[in-house]
Amino acid sequence: MQAALAWSEGADGRGGFLATHGEGRGGSSFAATRRRVWIRFLARIRVDLPVAIIDGMMVSASFVALLAIRFEGHIPPTYSERMFEFLPVALRSRAFRRELLYVL
């Protein structure tokens, strides 16, 4: 008996991988199940990538806007350097939390 991962979506639209045993749906093989999982995974990436890019742009713009408001439009060089060092960390953290909350 072989175990495989299969993508399953609930009524609320959230999805996740489920372990299946045996031949899967309709007597399909393990390779066919893996192929189906990859197709669904790639379809999800195709849909989520533009949303993630827009989300990152909005987070970046909000950081820049908040600093500009704080310093009345003239951000000191030390603060802008710190912001550009911190921004990749903030974007990775935001992307990770977004993915985590999407799966849960």
* Spans in the chain with pLDDT lower than 50: 1-2, 23-24, 104
Angle at 40 between CA 51 and CA 26, to 5 degrees: 160
Other beta carbons less than 10 A from residue 3's beta carbon: 9
pLDDT value at residue 65: 93
Number of domains in the chain: 1
Q: What is the pLDDT of residue 1?
A: 45
Domain that holds residue 55: 3-103
| One-letter identity of residue 10 | G
